[in-house]
Chain A
Amino acid sequence: MTMNLFNQFLSPTFLGLPLIAIALMAPCLLYPSPAPWWQSNRWTTLQNWFIGSFIKQILSPINTKGHSWALLLATLMVFLITLNTLGLLPYTFTPTTQLSLNMAFAVPLWLAIVIMGFRNSPTHALGHLLPEGTPTPLVPILIIIESISLLIRPLALGVRLTANLTAGHLLIQLVSSAAFSLLLSQTTAASLAVSLLLLLTILEIAVAMIQAYVFVLLLSLYLQENV
Protein backbone atom coordinates (compact mmCIF):
# COMPACT_ATOMS: atom_id res chain seq x y z
CA MET A 1 0.00 0.00 0.00
CA THR A 2 2.87 2.38 0.82
CA MET A 3 4.46 1.68 -2.56
CA ASN A 4 1.21 2.60 -4.26
CA LEU A 5 0.90 5.87 -2.42
CA PHE A 6 4.31 7.14 -3.48
CA ASN A 7 3.99 5.97 -7.07
CA GLN A 8 2.38 9.29 -7.97
CA PHE A 9 5.66 11.08 -7.20
CA LEU A 10 7.80 8.98 -9.52
CA SER A 11 9.22 10.91 -12.44
CA PRO A 12 6.93 9.93 -15.34
CA THR A 13 8.30 7.72 -18.06
CA PHE A 14 6.68 6.07 -21.03
CA LEU A 15 8.33 2.99 -22.47
CA GLY A 16 11.54 4.08 -20.88
CA LEU A 17 11.38 7.63 -22.25
CA PRO A 18 11.36 10.33 -19.61
CA LEU A 19 8.35 12.54 -19.87
CA ILE A 20 9.50 15.10 -17.33
CA ALA A 21 10.35 17.58 -20.08
CA ILE A 22 6.78 17.48 -21.37
CA ALA A 23 5.46 17.70 -17.83
CA LEU A 24 7.44 20.88 -17.32
CA MET A 25 6.80 22.52 -20.70
CA ALA A 26 3.19 21.56 -21.35
CA PRO A 27 1.49 23.79 -18.74
CA CYS A 28 2.82 26.90 -20.48
CA LEU A 29 0.73 26.01 -23.54
CA LEU A 30 -2.40 26.74 -21.56
CA TYR A 31 -1.72 30.47 -21.54
CA PRO A 32 -2.86 32.61 -24.48
CA SER A 33 -0.01 34.46 -26.06
CA PRO A 34 -0.53 38.20 -26.25
CA ALA A 35 -2.16 39.29 -29.48
CA PRO A 36 -0.85 42.05 -31.70
CA TRP A 37 -4.13 43.92 -31.55
CA TRP A 38 -4.90 46.60 -29.05
CA GLN A 39 -7.83 45.21 -27.09
CA SER A 40 -7.33 41.60 -26.06
CA ASN A 41 -9.86 38.94 -25.18
CA ARG A 42 -10.96 38.17 -21.62
CA TRP A 43 -8.28 35.59 -20.90
CA THR A 44 -5.43 37.84 -21.94
CA THR A 45 -6.91 40.83 -20.14
CA LEU A 46 -7.30 38.81 -16.95
CA GLN A 47 -3.80 37.39 -17.07
CA ASN A 48 -2.36 40.82 -17.83
CA TRP A 49 -4.24 42.27 -14.92
CA PHE A 50 -3.15 39.45 -12.63
CA ILE A 51 0.53 39.68 -13.50
CA GLY A 52 0.47 43.47 -13.41
CA SER A 53 -1.16 43.74 -9.99
CA PHE A 54 0.97 40.91 -8.58
CA ILE A 55 4.21 42.55 -9.67
CA LYS A 56 3.07 45.99 -8.48
CA GLN A 57 2.34 44.56 -5.07
CA ILE A 58 5.45 42.47 -4.73
CA LEU A 59 7.94 45.04 -6.02
CA SER A 60 6.53 48.01 -4.09
CA PRO A 61 8.84 47.63 -1.06
CA ILE A 62 11.92 47.08 -3.24
CA ASN A 63 13.94 50.03 -4.48
CA THR A 64 14.36 50.78 -8.17
CA LYS A 65 17.51 48.76 -8.62
CA GLY A 66 15.69 45.59 -7.68
CA HIS A 67 12.95 46.17 -10.26
CA SER A 68 15.04 44.39 -12.87
CA TRP A 69 13.96 41.20 -11.10
CA ALA A 70 10.34 41.82 -12.09
CA LEU A 71 10.33 39.49 -15.08
CA LEU A 72 11.99 36.67 -13.18
CA LEU A 73 9.63 36.88 -10.24
CA ALA A 74 6.54 37.12 -12.43
CA THR A 75 7.58 34.14 -14.52
CA LEU A 76 8.43 32.12 -11.44
CA MET A 77 5.10 32.90 -9.84
CA VAL A 78 3.06 32.00 -12.91
CA PHE A 79 5.07 28.80 -13.43
CA LEU A 80 4.75 27.62 -9.85
CA ILE A 81 1.08 28.42 -9.56
CA THR A 82 0.33 26.62 -12.83
CA LEU A 83 2.28 23.52 -11.88
CA ASN A 84 0.74 23.40 -8.43
CA THR A 85 -2.86 23.82 -9.53
CA LEU A 86 -2.58 21.51 -12.52
CA GLY A 87 -1.19 18.81 -10.24
CA LEU A 88 -4.50 18.69 -8.41
CA LEU A 89 -6.23 17.19 -11.43
CA PRO A 90 -6.46 13.41 -11.37
CA TYR A 91 -3.69 11.28 -12.87
CA THR A 92 -1.36 14.26 -13.28
CA PHE A 93 2.22 14.58 -12.23
CA THR A 94 3.24 17.60 -10.16
CA PRO A 95 6.84 18.52 -10.85
CA THR A 96 6.97 20.73 -7.77
CA THR A 97 6.70 17.67 -5.55
CA GLN A 98 10.24 16.82 -6.60
CA LEU A 99 12.81 18.24 -4.22
CA SER A 100 15.29 18.49 -7.08
CA LEU A 101 13.15 20.99 -8.97
CA ASN A 102 12.43 23.14 -5.95
CA MET A 103 16.05 23.20 -4.82
CA ALA A 104 17.03 24.01 -8.40
CA PHE A 105 14.83 27.08 -8.12
CA ALA A 106 15.68 28.04 -4.55
CA VAL A 107 19.47 27.65 -4.38
CA PRO A 108 20.55 29.61 -7.49
CA LEU A 109 18.12 32.45 -6.87
CA TRP A 110 18.98 32.74 -3.17
CA LEU A 111 22.71 32.47 -3.88
CA ALA A 112 22.48 35.11 -6.60
CA ILE A 113 20.71 37.47 -4.22
CA VAL A 114 23.23 36.89 -1.41
CA ILE A 115 26.27 37.28 -3.67
CA MET A 116 24.74 40.43 -5.18
CA GLY A 117 24.19 41.80 -1.68
CA PHE A 118 27.73 41.01 -0.57
CA ARG A 119 29.23 42.42 -3.73
CA ASN A 120 27.33 45.70 -3.88
CA SER A 121 27.29 46.67 -0.20
CA PRO A 122 29.18 44.12 1.93
CA THR A 123 28.89 46.05 5.20
CA HIS A 124 25.16 46.38 4.78
CA ALA A 125 24.81 42.69 3.95
CA LEU A 126 26.97 41.69 6.91
CA GLY A 127 24.95 44.01 9.10
CA HIS A 128 21.93 41.82 8.55
CA LEU A 129 23.64 39.14 10.59
CA LEU A 130 23.13 41.13 13.78
CA PRO A 131 19.72 42.59 14.60
CA GLU A 132 19.62 46.08 16.09
CA GLY A 133 19.49 46.51 19.81
CA THR A 134 20.83 43.15 20.95
CA PRO A 135 22.48 43.11 24.37
CA THR A 136 26.29 42.78 24.17
CA PRO A 137 26.74 39.30 25.77
CA LEU A 138 24.40 37.77 23.21
CA VAL A 139 26.24 39.19 20.18
CA PRO A 140 28.57 36.24 19.32
CA ILE A 141 25.84 33.64 19.69
CA LEU A 142 23.39 35.74 17.72
CA ILE A 143 25.80 36.18 14.82
CA ILE A 144 26.23 32.42 14.55
CA ILE A 145 22.47 31.89 14.77
CA GLU A 146 21.77 34.53 12.13
CA SER A 147 24.35 33.11 9.71
CA ILE A 148 22.90 29.64 10.17
CA SER A 149 19.45 31.05 9.42
CA LEU A 150 20.88 32.75 6.35
CA LEU A 151 22.44 29.54 5.07
CA ILE A 152 19.33 27.50 5.75
CA ARG A 153 17.11 29.77 3.65
CA PRO A 154 17.45 27.92 0.32
CA LEU A 155 16.85 24.62 2.05
CA ALA A 156 13.80 26.05 3.74
CA LEU A 157 12.45 27.48 0.50
CA GLY A 158 12.81 24.27 -1.43
CA VAL A 159 11.71 21.92 1.29
CA ARG A 160 8.71 24.06 2.23
CA LEU A 161 7.29 23.88 -1.26
CA THR A 162 8.10 20.19 -1.68
CA ALA A 163 6.75 19.18 1.70
CA ASN A 164 3.51 21.14 1.38
CA LEU A 165 2.65 19.76 -1.99
CA THR A 166 3.77 16.23 -1.29
CA ALA A 167 1.84 16.15 1.95
CA GLY A 168 -1.25 17.49 0.25
CA HIS A 169 -1.13 14.97 -2.54
CA LEU A 170 -0.47 12.12 -0.14
CA LEU A 171 -3.42 13.14 2.02
CA ILE A 172 -5.68 13.28 -1.00
CA GLN A 173 -4.54 9.79 -2.01
CA LEU A 174 -5.02 8.44 1.50
CA VAL A 175 -8.43 9.88 2.10
CA SER A 176 -9.70 8.97 -1.35
CA SER A 177 -8.46 5.40 -1.05
CA ALA A 178 -10.04 5.17 2.39
CA ALA A 179 -13.32 6.48 1.04
CA PHE A 180 -13.12 4.15 -1.96
CA SER A 181 -12.50 1.06 0.07
CA LEU A 182 -15.33 1.95 2.46
CA LEU A 183 -17.70 2.91 -0.35
CA LEU A 184 -19.53 -0.39 -0.71
CA SER A 185 -19.44 -1.80 2.82
CA GLN A 186 -19.85 1.16 5.19
CA THR A 187 -21.46 3.89 3.09
CA THR A 188 -21.94 6.45 5.89
CA ALA A 189 -18.27 6.35 6.83
CA ALA A 190 -17.50 6.61 3.16
CA SER A 191 -19.70 9.69 2.85
CA LEU A 192 -17.86 11.25 5.80
CA ALA A 193 -14.59 10.49 4.06
CA VAL A 194 -15.92 11.98 0.82
CA SER A 195 -16.91 15.18 2.60
CA LEU A 196 -13.45 15.26 4.14
CA LEU A 197 -12.03 14.78 0.68
CA LEU A 198 -14.04 17.73 -0.63
CA LEU A 199 -12.77 20.00 2.12
CA LEU A 200 -9.27 18.69 1.58
CA THR A 201 -9.51 19.45 -2.14
CA ILE A 202 -10.52 23.03 -1.43
CA LEU A 203 -7.63 23.30 1.04
CA GLU A 204 -5.21 21.89 -1.48
CA ILE A 205 -6.25 24.39 -4.14
CA ALA A 206 -5.62 27.16 -1.63
CA VAL A 207 -2.31 25.64 -0.51
CA ALA A 208 -1.13 25.27 -4.10
CA MET A 209 -1.65 28.95 -4.80
CA ILE A 210 -0.40 30.15 -1.44
CA GLN A 211 2.79 28.09 -1.55
CA ALA A 212 3.71 29.47 -4.95
CA TYR A 213 3.04 32.98 -3.67
CA VAL A 214 5.06 32.39 -0.50
CA PHE A 215 8.03 31.12 -2.48
CA VAL A 216 8.13 34.23 -4.63
CA LEU A 217 7.34 36.52 -1.70
CA LEU A 218 10.24 35.20 0.35
CA LEU A 219 12.58 35.61 -2.59
CA SER A 220 11.41 39.20 -2.96
CA LEU A 221 12.01 39.74 0.76
CA TYR A 222 15.57 38.44 0.48
CA LEU A 223 15.98 40.68 -2.54
CA GLN A 224 14.72 43.68 -0.61
CA GLU A 225 17.33 43.09 2.08
CA ASN A 226 20.20 42.73 -0.33
CA VAL A 227 19.63 45.14 -3.18
Chain B
Amino acid sequence: MMSRLVILSANSLKGSGPFGAGLVHASRSLHTSSQSRAPVPPLPETGGKVRHGIFPEEIFQLLYPKTGVTGPYMLGTGLITYLLSKELYVINNETLSAICIFSVIIYGVKKFGPSVAAFADKLNEEKLAKAQEVKDLAMSGLTQAIENEKKEQWRVEGRAMLFDAKRNNVAMLLETNYRERLHMVTNEIKRRLDYQIALQHLNRRLEQEHMINWVEKSVIGSITPQQEKESIAKCIADLKMLAKNTQAKATV
Protein backbone atom coordinates (compact mmCIF):
# COMPACT_ATOMS: atom_id res chain seq x y z
CA MET B 1 0.00 0.00 0.00
CA MET B 2 2.59 2.48 0.97
CA SER B 3 5.05 0.81 -1.32
CA ARG B 4 5.81 4.00 -3.18
CA LEU B 5 6.47 5.85 0.06
CA VAL B 6 8.62 2.97 1.24
CA ILE B 7 10.47 2.98 -2.06
CA LEU B 8 11.16 6.65 -1.94
CA SER B 9 12.11 6.55 1.73
CA ALA B 10 14.39 3.61 1.10
CA ASN B 11 15.95 5.28 -1.90
CA SER B 12 16.60 8.51 -0.13
CA LEU B 13 18.00 6.71 2.90
CA LYS B 14 20.13 4.46 0.70
CA GLY B 15 22.88 6.93 0.36
CA SER B 16 22.92 8.12 3.95
CA GLY B 17 25.55 6.25 5.84
CA PRO B 18 24.83 3.76 8.59
CA PHE B 19 21.05 3.84 8.27
CA GLY B 20 20.91 2.81 4.67
CA ALA B 21 22.99 -0.33 4.61
CA GLY B 22 20.16 -2.78 4.78
CA LEU B 23 17.73 -0.90 2.61
CA VAL B 24 19.38 -1.20 -0.79
CA HIS B 25 17.72 -4.47 -1.72
CA ALA B 26 14.18 -3.27 -1.20
CA SER B 27 14.09 -0.98 -4.20
CA ARG B 28 15.40 -3.42 -6.79
CA SER B 29 12.94 -6.17 -5.98
CA LEU B 30 9.91 -4.46 -7.47
CA HIS B 31 11.10 -4.50 -11.10
CA THR B 32 9.53 -1.16 -11.90
CA SER B 33 12.05 -0.29 -14.63
CA SER B 34 13.28 -2.19 -17.64
CA GLN B 35 16.56 -2.88 -15.86
CA SER B 36 18.78 -1.65 -18.64
CA ARG B 37 21.10 1.17 -17.77
CA ALA B 38 22.77 1.99 -21.10
CA PRO B 39 22.42 3.81 -23.37
CA VAL B 40 20.42 6.26 -21.28
CA PRO B 41 18.27 8.49 -23.51
CA PRO B 42 18.91 12.22 -23.08
CA LEU B 43 16.64 13.78 -20.48
CA PRO B 44 14.77 17.08 -20.86
CA GLU B 45 16.42 19.93 -18.97
CA THR B 46 13.21 21.49 -17.63
CA GLY B 47 9.74 20.18 -16.96
CA GLY B 48 6.74 20.68 -19.20
CA LYS B 49 5.75 24.29 -19.72
CA VAL B 50 2.63 25.40 -17.84
CA ARG B 51 0.60 28.57 -17.85
CA HIS B 52 -0.74 29.96 -14.58
CA GLY B 53 0.93 27.17 -12.70
CA ILE B 54 -1.40 24.30 -13.59
CA PHE B 55 -2.61 24.43 -17.18
CA PRO B 56 -0.21 22.75 -19.63
CA GLU B 57 0.90 24.78 -22.59
CA GLU B 58 -0.26 21.96 -24.91
CA ILE B 59 -3.94 22.86 -24.38
CA PHE B 60 -3.29 26.41 -25.56
CA GLN B 61 -1.39 25.11 -28.58
CA LEU B 62 -4.18 22.65 -29.28
CA LEU B 63 -6.90 25.30 -29.31
CA TYR B 64 -4.88 28.01 -31.03
CA PRO B 65 -5.70 27.09 -34.68
CA LYS B 66 -9.45 27.10 -34.08
CA THR B 67 -9.98 29.76 -31.45
CA GLY B 68 -6.84 31.86 -31.36
CA VAL B 69 -5.19 33.25 -28.25
CA THR B 70 -8.31 33.82 -26.11
CA GLY B 71 -9.79 30.38 -26.84
CA PRO B 72 -8.77 28.50 -23.70
CA TYR B 73 -9.69 31.46 -21.50
CA MET B 74 -13.16 31.58 -23.01
CA LEU B 75 -13.42 27.85 -22.48
CA GLY B 76 -12.47 28.23 -18.85
CA THR B 77 -14.82 31.12 -18.22
CA GLY B 78 -17.69 29.33 -19.95
CA LEU B 79 -17.08 26.16 -18.01
CA ILE B 80 -17.09 27.99 -14.68
CA THR B 81 -20.20 29.95 -15.56
CA TYR B 82 -21.96 26.76 -16.64
CA LEU B 83 -21.08 24.96 -13.43
CA LEU B 84 -22.20 27.89 -11.28
CA SER B 85 -25.40 28.72 -13.10
CA LYS B 86 -26.63 25.17 -13.25
CA GLU B 87 -25.62 24.73 -9.62
CA LEU B 88 -23.53 21.74 -10.55
CA TYR B 89 -21.04 23.34 -8.23
CA VAL B 90 -22.81 24.88 -5.25
CA ILE B 91 -21.18 27.84 -3.56
CA ASN B 92 -21.18 27.08 0.13
CA ASN B 93 -18.89 27.51 3.14
CA GLU B 94 -16.34 25.15 1.64
CA THR B 95 -15.86 27.59 -1.22
CA LEU B 96 -14.72 30.22 1.24
CA SER B 97 -12.29 27.84 2.92
CA ALA B 98 -11.14 26.77 -0.57
CA ILE B 99 -10.47 30.40 -1.47
CA CYS B 100 -8.50 30.82 1.75
CA ILE B 101 -6.38 27.71 1.41
CA PHE B 102 -5.64 28.31 -2.27
CA SER B 103 -4.65 31.91 -1.66
CA VAL B 104 -2.30 30.74 1.11
CA ILE B 105 -0.83 28.06 -1.14
CA ILE B 106 -0.37 30.44 -4.08
CA TYR B 107 1.19 33.05 -1.83
CA GLY B 108 3.57 30.46 -0.40
CA VAL B 109 4.58 29.16 -3.82
CA LYS B 110 5.10 32.64 -5.25
CA LYS B 111 7.10 33.84 -2.30
CA PHE B 112 9.21 30.77 -1.46
CA GLY B 113 9.19 29.00 -4.82
CA PRO B 114 12.36 30.50 -6.32
CA SER B 115 14.39 30.11 -3.13
CA VAL B 116 13.34 26.48 -2.72
CA ALA B 117 14.15 25.81 -6.37
CA ALA B 118 17.54 27.48 -5.90
CA PHE B 119 18.13 25.32 -2.83
CA ALA B 120 17.30 22.14 -4.75
CA ASP B 121 19.59 23.28 -7.56
CA LYS B 122 22.31 23.99 -5.02
CA LEU B 123 22.00 20.46 -3.63
CA ASN B 124 22.33 19.05 -7.13
CA GLU B 125 25.24 21.36 -7.89
CA GLU B 126 27.07 20.23 -4.77
CA LYS B 127 26.61 16.61 -5.77
CA LEU B 128 27.89 17.39 -9.26
CA ALA B 129 30.78 19.44 -7.88
CA LYS B 130 31.90 16.55 -5.68
CA ALA B 131 32.02 14.20 -8.62
CA GLN B 132 33.69 16.85 -10.75
CA GLU B 133 36.29 17.37 -8.04
CA VAL B 134 37.05 13.67 -7.97
CA LYS B 135 37.41 13.68 -11.74
CA ASP B 136 39.60 16.81 -11.68
CA LEU B 137 41.81 15.40 -8.96
CA ALA B 138 42.21 12.18 -10.89
CA MET B 139 43.09 14.07 -14.05
CA SER B 140 45.56 16.36 -12.35
CA GLY B 141 47.10 13.35 -10.63
CA LEU B 142 47.50 11.63 -13.97
CA THR B 143 49.03 14.71 -15.69
CA GLN B 144 51.40 15.03 -12.74
CA ALA B 145 52.33 11.37 -13.18
CA ILE B 146 53.00 12.01 -16.89
CA GLU B 147 55.25 14.95 -16.07
CA ASN B 148 57.10 12.92 -13.48
CA GLU B 149 57.60 10.14 -16.00
CA LYS B 150 58.98 12.58 -18.59
CA LYS B 151 61.34 13.99 -15.98
CA GLU B 152 62.52 10.51 -15.12
CA GLN B 153 63.18 9.83 -18.80
CA TRP B 154 65.23 13.02 -19.07
CA ARG B 155 67.08 11.97 -15.96
CA VAL B 156 67.89 8.64 -17.55
CA GLU B 157 69.50 10.45 -20.51
CA GLY B 158 71.65 12.42 -18.18
CA ARG B 159 72.69 9.31 -16.33
CA ALA B 160 75.37 8.43 -18.93
CA MET B 161 76.90 11.87 -18.46
CA LEU B 162 76.80 11.34 -14.75
CA PHE B 163 78.60 8.04 -15.04
CA ASP B 164 81.25 9.60 -17.31
CA ALA B 165 81.84 12.38 -14.85
CA LYS B 166 82.09 9.89 -12.05
CA ARG B 167 84.46 7.76 -14.02
CA ASN B 168 86.61 10.82 -14.76
CA ASN B 169 86.58 11.71 -11.12
CA VAL B 170 87.75 8.29 -10.13
CA ALA B 171 90.48 8.28 -12.78
CA MET B 172 91.69 11.66 -11.57
CA LEU B 173 91.78 10.43 -8.02
CA LEU B 174 93.75 7.39 -9.02
CA GLU B 175 96.19 9.50 -11.06
CA THR B 176 96.65 11.90 -8.17
CA ASN B 177 97.23 9.06 -5.81
CA TYR B 178 99.79 7.49 -8.13
CA ARG B 179 101.63 10.78 -8.55
CA GLU B 180 101.68 11.28 -4.85
CA ARG B 181 103.15 7.90 -4.23
CA LEU B 182 105.70 8.41 -6.99
CA HIS B 183 106.69 11.71 -5.47
CA MET B 184 106.97 10.12 -2.05
CA VAL B 185 109.11 7.32 -3.40
CA THR B 186 111.39 9.80 -5.19
CA ASN B 187 111.76 11.80 -2.04
CA GLU B 188 112.62 8.79 0.03
CA ILE B 189 115.21 7.57 -2.43
CA LYS B 190 116.76 11.05 -2.65
CA ARG B 191 116.90 11.19 1.11
CA ARG B 192 118.72 7.91 1.29
CA LEU B 193 121.14 8.85 -1.50
CA ASP B 194 121.80 12.22 0.17
CA TYR B 195 122.59 10.37 3.30
CA GLN B 196 125.09 8.22 1.50
CA ILE B 197 126.67 11.28 -0.13
CA ALA B 198 126.89 13.07 3.18
CA LEU B 199 128.46 9.97 4.64
CA GLN B 200 131.09 9.85 1.90
CA HIS B 201 131.83 13.56 2.25
CA LEU B 202 132.26 13.08 5.89
CA ASN B 203 134.56 10.15 5.31
CA ARG B 204 136.71 12.12 2.82
CA ARG B 205 136.93 15.13 5.11
CA LEU B 206 137.95 12.97 8.02
CA GLU B 207 140.60 11.28 5.91
CA GLN B 208 141.82 14.65 4.65
CA GLU B 209 142.08 16.12 8.09
CA HIS B 210 143.69 13.08 9.42
CA MET B 211 146.24 13.16 6.58
CA ILE B 212 146.93 16.86 7.08
CA ASN B 213 147.36 16.39 10.75
CA TRP B 214 149.69 13.48 10.13
CA VAL B 215 151.70 15.44 7.55
CA GLU B 216 151.89 18.47 9.86
CA LYS B 217 152.90 16.38 12.77
CA SER B 218 155.56 14.59 10.76
CA VAL B 219 156.84 17.88 9.30
CA ILE B 220 156.88 19.57 12.66
CA GLY B 221 158.53 16.50 14.08
CA SER B 222 161.13 16.50 11.37
CA ILE B 223 162.21 20.06 12.03
CA THR B 224 165.41 19.65 14.14
CA PRO B 225 166.40 22.35 16.55
CA GLN B 226 169.42 23.24 14.37
CA GLN B 227 167.17 23.92 11.40
CA GLU B 228 164.87 25.89 13.63
CA LYS B 229 167.67 28.19 14.76
CA GLU B 230 168.90 28.66 11.18
CA SER B 231 165.42 29.50 9.91
CA ILE B 232 164.78 31.96 12.74
CA ALA B 233 168.17 33.66 12.03
CA LYS B 234 167.32 33.84 8.36
CA CYS B 235 163.96 35.31 9.12
CA ILE B 236 165.52 37.99 11.31
CA ALA B 237 168.06 38.84 8.61
CA ASP B 238 165.25 39.08 6.03
CA LEU B 239 163.27 41.25 8.31
CA LYS B 240 166.18 43.61 8.90
CA MET B 241 166.75 43.90 5.18
CA LEU B 242 163.14 44.59 4.61
CA ALA B 243 163.13 47.19 7.28
CA LYS B 244 166.13 48.86 5.70
CA ASN B 245 164.45 48.82 2.28
CA THR B 246 161.30 50.35 3.56
CA GLN B 247 163.17 52.94 5.53
CA ALA B 248 165.07 53.80 2.40
CA LYS B 249 161.89 54.00 0.36
CA ALA B 250 160.24 56.13 2.99
CA THR B 251 163.02 58.73 3.08
CA VAL B 252 163.15 58.90 -0.72
A residues adjacent to B (C-beta < 8 A): 24-25, 28-29, 31-34, 36-37, 39-43, 45-49, 51-52, 55-56, 59, 64, 67-68, 70-71, 74-75, 78-79, 88-91, 172-173, 176-177, 179-181, 183, 194, 197-198, 201-202, 205
Which of A28, A39, A41, A201 interacts with B97 by CB under 8 Å? A201
Do B94 and A90 have beta carbons less than 8 Å apart? yes
A28 and B4 contact, Cβ closer than 8 Å, known pairs A78-B9, A90-B94: yes
Closest B residue by C-beta to A89 = B101
Do B4 and A29 have beta carbons less than 8 Å apart? yes
A47 and B8 contact, Cβ closer than 8 Å, known pairs A79-B2, A176-B93: yes
Closest B residue by C-beta to A27 = B5
A46 and B120 contact, Cβ closer than 8 Å, known pairs A34-B12, A71-B13, A205-B104: yes
Do B94 and A198 have beta carbons less than 8 Å apart? no
> How far is A32 from B128 in the complex, measured between Cα atoms in Å?
21
> How far is A3 from B116 in the complex, measured between Cα atoms in Å?
42
Do A55 and B13 have beta carbons less than 8 Å apart? yes
Closest B residue by C-beta to A31 = B8
Interface of B is mostly: helix
- Chain B interface size band reads 35 or more
A215 to chain B, nearest CB (A): 15
Do A71 and B104 have beta carbons less than 8 Å apart? no
A152 to chain B, nearest CB (A): 28
> How far is A127 from B88 in the complex, measured between Cα atoms in Å?
63
Do B8 and A33 have beta carbons less than 8 Å apart? yes
Stretch of B14-22, B64-72, B165-173 with 4 or more beta carbons under 8 angstroms from chain A = B14-22
Do A71 and B96 have beta carbons less than 8 Å apart? no
> How far is A226 from B96 in the complex, measured between Cα atoms in Å?
47
Stretch of B32-40, B53-61, B240-248 with 4 or more beta carbons under 8 angstroms from chain A = B32-40
> How far is A78 from B200 in the complex, measured between Cα atoms in Å?
125
Q: Could you pull out 11 A-B pairs where Cβ atoms are within 8 angstroms?
A: A24-B1, A34-B12, A37-B40, A46-B116, A46-B119, A51-B9, A55-B13, A74-B13, A90-B101, A179-B93, A201-B101
> How far is A46 from B16 in the complex, measured between Cα atoms in Å?
15
Q: Is B6 an interface residue (CB 8 A)?
A: yes
Closest B residue by C-beta to A179 = B96
Do B16 and A55 have beta carbons less than 8 Å apart? yes
Do A48 and B2 have beta carbons less than 8 Å apart? no
For chain B residues 107-132, which have a beta carbon within 8 Å of chain A? Answer: 116-117, 119-121, 123-124, 127-128
Do B19 and A70 have beta carbons less than 8 Å apart? yes
| Supplied contacts A32-B8, A91-B94, 14 more A-B pairs, CB within 8 Å | A34-B7, A37-B43, A39-B128, A46-B116, A47-B8, A51-B8, A67-B18, A71-B6, A71-B13, A74-B9, A78-B5, A89-B98, A176-B100, A177-B93
Chain B residues with CB below 8 A from A91, complex form:
94, 98
Chain B residues with CB below 8 A from A172, complex form:
97
- Most chain A CB within 10 A, of B1, B4, B37, B47, is at B4
> How far is A60 from B94 in the complex, measured between Cα atoms in Å?
42
The 8 A CB mask of B20-35 against A (1 = contact, 0 = none) is 1011001100001100
Chain B residues with CB below 8 A from A177, complex form:
92-93
Closest A residue by C-beta to B1 = A25
Q: Is B103 an interface residue (CB 8 A)?
A: yes
Which of A39, A51, A90, A179 interacts with B13 by CB under 8 Å? A51
Do B43 and A79 have beta carbons less than 8 Å apart? no
A64 and B98 contact, Cβ closer than 8 Å, known pairs A39-B128, A177-B93: no
Do A201 and B104 have beta carbons less than 8 Å apart? yes
Which of A37, A56, A75 interacts with B9 by CB under 8 Å? A75
Which of A28, A71, A202 interacts with B10 by CB under 8 Å? A71
9 tightest Cβ-Cβ pairs between the two chains A and B: A90-B98, A177-B93, A34-B11, A48-B12, A42-B120, A176-B93, A74-B9, A176-B97, A51-B12
